[in-house]
């Protein structure tokens, strides 16, 4: 019998003994064939290691800091590139330290808790072909020609698991690393519209409708209306806007002050189940699960699509993509799942994701334009924020001329140069974001941007604190910081000085008339008249508004001071605990006592700095005497009632209506649920009014709201 020997040239040359043995076989009559050398490029190890390090960095930015620097598509592209290298060179991949497949969102700020059942991520699909390939795999795995799917909107928020025992909410945990996550129970309990106990649904034949223990999986998110409201408040206060709703939701859950959850209008939606005891309480299909979640009284997905077969599946995904323009919540894709739970169990799960589900990501609209320049904005805390000045381009129906660049490191990482052609997307379909550079079109005259080493407003050398990416101006007399501090102090959420806008503030600071907050209360008629104000009208009104602001509620003054981690809700808490501006400032005289609230701890740390105590003392010296917490015209007429605002009200802004409701004891939520007591609708109310009608929640107008507050 003829013997054929295959030789790999590289191995044959290395192993001399084996070579002699093979030569012997050949001399004995065996047929030998030398195969070409398979070489591993020297760059493989470096490429795999570099990709894993880069992915780990973006994981930390996205999951732990809620500050991603690249789009989801670019991130998934890095993961795909790494997977290709690993599959091509598995022996090298085994030598390089691995990167976890599920991003870890544990922040280190909270206690952690272990999930009863592992919380997984989802595989991604970006094209019709990839989605059809998934459907084909499911048909093959189940042995069926056509498979039933459920299509759900993919909420863009922070994944959470909420555990109910004997129908009572006992714990809320972030996904973390999939095995354990941050215990954020207190924060999730602050979400308006989330019940503390499960409602007993109607009996279902052959099933236990009330589980003893159940992990309900979902997403904490920020509705568009709340996102826009919070960003408007921050812009008016001279603070950086959140890039997208997900960053706002994730950042808020990491705030030590749980009251920020309510103030920023966070919401939650549930769409899955982890551990469940007994298993008979688990519905038979995914479509039924959504109905069961709503039957328990939990916020669920309002609309899902059932599809039988691949063509119907693709049609349902396209229908969802068209419909999302009317959604009140952020969504960046469609989640496709096998409908039957038995099929889900049969197909099983992989190392990091279930095999029976996939997330189809909608493509973000992208435009290419030219980077005209980079300007630097100085915030009220001294942070220097670079902003891209673009040739105007239409994106998602609106003209875009500016985009944030976040920080100095991002400019260097992207190698951005003035004159470059750049790619711009709308992050979360709202905020323009620069996502890439077309280096193939880089003009010869494009020059690297040199980040300033001194503050552009006051020429003070900038600093970078250890562990921060932000570059700051430490100048205590920086006019840019002072302008932003005054804007924040005088904003509607602050002491509400009507007529003190950016142009007037610019003039007062530029002329040196106002050098600190207390100088506002030292202004004379001639100081304002020089700015072009008519002494008999506008100037008098401005001076009158400044004088009236001496007697606003204490919480407004506290908020206006811009204490880190003290938002409008925490300011009210601090006002109740301290009772006077003097007492608030005195918190800095000693360390906060054990068991003190987060607001007290934050204020104590802030006023421990002498310059901050001086600001408060100067305000007191010029006659600022804030009043106590406002009781509202109707006392506590709305105590315990939950309101949702929608549309434009005739006379009240969203902030003013919220303030009046809260002052009368009510709460304002960003989304309609079964627990909502009233929806207050103005003009162009949107989907919330329809949701209210579906849930049989009373819809009232502004006039009725004011009558309720007045106790009529």
**Active site residues per annotation:** 154
Q: Which two tokens stand for residue 683?
A: 């003009």
Nearest to 336 by CA among 304, 319, 359, 306: 359
Nearest to 234 by CA among 266, 191, 263, 258: 263
- Cβ(260)–Cβ(207) under 8 Å? no
> Cα(150)–Cα(170) distance, rounded to whole angstroms?
30
The three-state (H, E, C) secondary structure of 315-367, written as one string: HHHHHHHHHHHHCCCCEEEEEEEECEHHHHHHHCECCCCECCEEEEECCCCEE
Strands 112-114 and 124-125: unpaired
- How far is CA 668 from each of CA 493, 553, 677, 693, 696, rounded to the nearest angstrom? 16, 20, 10, 18, 18
Nearest to 407 by CA among 452, 348, 340, 457: 452
Per-residue DSSP letter, 283: -
Dihedral (C-alpha) 302, 307, 311, 316: value to the nearest 10 degrees? -10
Helix (H) or strand (E) run with residue 586 in it: helix 581-586
Partners of 448 in the β-ladder: 417
Count CA atoms within 13 Å of residue 301 on its CB side. Answer: 26
446 backbone dihedrals φ, ψ, rounded to 5°: -65, 130
Per-residue DSSP letter, 230: H
- How far is CA 102 from each of CA 67, 158, 350, rounded to the nearest angstrom? 17, 13, 12
Per-residue DSSP letter, 515: S
> Cα(28)–Cα(495) distance, rounded to whole angstroms?
100
Nearest to 541 by CA among 605, 497, 585: 497
């Amino acid at each position: 019998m003829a013997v054929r020997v295959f030789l790999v040239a590289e191995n044959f040359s290395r192993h001399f003994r084996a070579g002699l043995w093979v030569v012997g076989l050949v001399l004995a009559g065996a047929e030998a064939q030398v195969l070409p050398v398979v070489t591993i490029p020297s760059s493989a190890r470096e490429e795999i290691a570099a990709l894993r390090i880069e992915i780990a960095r973006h994981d930390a930015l996205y999951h732990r800091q809620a500050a991603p620097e690249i789009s989801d598509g670019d991130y998934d592209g890095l993961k795909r590139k790494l997977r290709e290298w690993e599959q091509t060179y598995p022996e090298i991949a085994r030598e390089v330290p691995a990167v976890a497949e599920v991003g870890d969102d544990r922040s280190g700020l909270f206690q952690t808790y272990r999930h009863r059942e592992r919380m997984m991520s989802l595989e991604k699909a970006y094209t019709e072909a990839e989605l059809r390939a998934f459907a084909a795999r499911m048909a093959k795995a189940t042995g069926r020609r056509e498979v039933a799917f459920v299509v759900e909107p993919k909420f863009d928020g922070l994944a959470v698991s909420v555990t109910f025992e004997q129908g009572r909410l006992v714990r809320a945990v972030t996904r973390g690393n999939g095995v354990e996550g941050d215990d954020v129970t207190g924060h999730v309990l602050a979400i308006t519209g989330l019940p503390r106990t499960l409602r007993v649904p109607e009996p279902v034949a052959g099933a236990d409708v009330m589980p003893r223990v159940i992990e309900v999986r979902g997403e904490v998110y920020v509705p568009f209306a709340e996102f826009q409201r919070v960003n408007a408040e921050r812009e008016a206060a001279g603070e950086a806007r959140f890039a997208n709703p997900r960053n706002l939701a994730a950042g808020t859950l990491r705030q030590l002050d749980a009251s920020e959850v309510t103030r920023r209008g966070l919401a939650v939606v549930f769409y899955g189940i982890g551990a469940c005891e007994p298993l008979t309480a688990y519905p038979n299909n995914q479509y039924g699960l959504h109905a069961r979640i709503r039957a328990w009284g939990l916020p669920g997905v309002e609309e899902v699509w059932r599809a039988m077969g691949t063509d119907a599946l693709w049609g349902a995904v396209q229908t969802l993509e068209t419909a999302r323009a009317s959604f009140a919540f952020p969504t960046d894709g469609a989640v496709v799942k096998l409908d039957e739970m038995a099929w889900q169990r049969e197909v099983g799960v992989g190392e990091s994701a279930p095999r029976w589900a996939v997330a189809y990501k909608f493509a973000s609209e992208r435009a290419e334009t030219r980077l005209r320049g980079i300007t630097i904005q100085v915030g009220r805390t001294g942070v220097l924020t670079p902003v891209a000045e673009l040739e105007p381009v239409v994106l998602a129906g609106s003209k875009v001329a500016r985009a944030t660049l976040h920080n100095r490191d991002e400019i260097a990482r992207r190698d951005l140069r003035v004159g470059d052609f750049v790619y711009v997307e709308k992050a979360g379909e709202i905020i323009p974001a620069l996502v890439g550079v077309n280096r193939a079109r880089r003009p010869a005259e494009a020059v690297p941007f040199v980040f300033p080493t001194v503050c552009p407003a006051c020429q003070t050398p900038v600093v970078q604190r250890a562990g921060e990416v932000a570059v700051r101006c430490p100048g205590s007399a920086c006019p840019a910081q002072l302008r932003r501090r005054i804007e924040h102090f005088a904003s509607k959420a602050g002491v509400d000085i009507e007529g003190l806008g950016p142009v007037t503030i610019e003039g007062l600071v530029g002329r040196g008339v106002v050098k600190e907050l207390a100088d506002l209360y030292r202004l004379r008629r001639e100081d304002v008249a020089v700015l072009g104000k008519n002494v008999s009208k506008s100037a008098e009104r401005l001076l009158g508004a400044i004088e009236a602001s001496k007697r606003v509620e204490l919480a407004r003054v506290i908020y206006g001071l811009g204490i880190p981690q003290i938002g409008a809700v925490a300011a009210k808490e601090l006002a109740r605990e301290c009772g006077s501006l003097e007492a608030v400032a005195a918190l800095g005289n000693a360390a906060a006592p054990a068991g003190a609230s987060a607001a007290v701890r934050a204020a104590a740390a802030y006023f421990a700095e002498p310059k901050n105590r001086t600001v408060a003392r100067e305000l007191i010296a010029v006659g600022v005497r804030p009043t106590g917490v406002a009781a509202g015209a109707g006392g506590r007429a709305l105590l315990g009632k939950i309101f949702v605002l929608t549309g434009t009200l005739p006379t009240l802004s969203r902030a003013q209506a919220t303030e009046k409701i809260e002052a009368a004891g009510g709460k304002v939520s960003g989304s309609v649920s079964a627990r909502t007591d009233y929806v207050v609708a103005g003009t162009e109310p949107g989907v919330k009014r329809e949701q209210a009608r579906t849930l049989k929640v009373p819809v009232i107008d502004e006039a009725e709201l004011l009558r309720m507050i007045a106790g009529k």
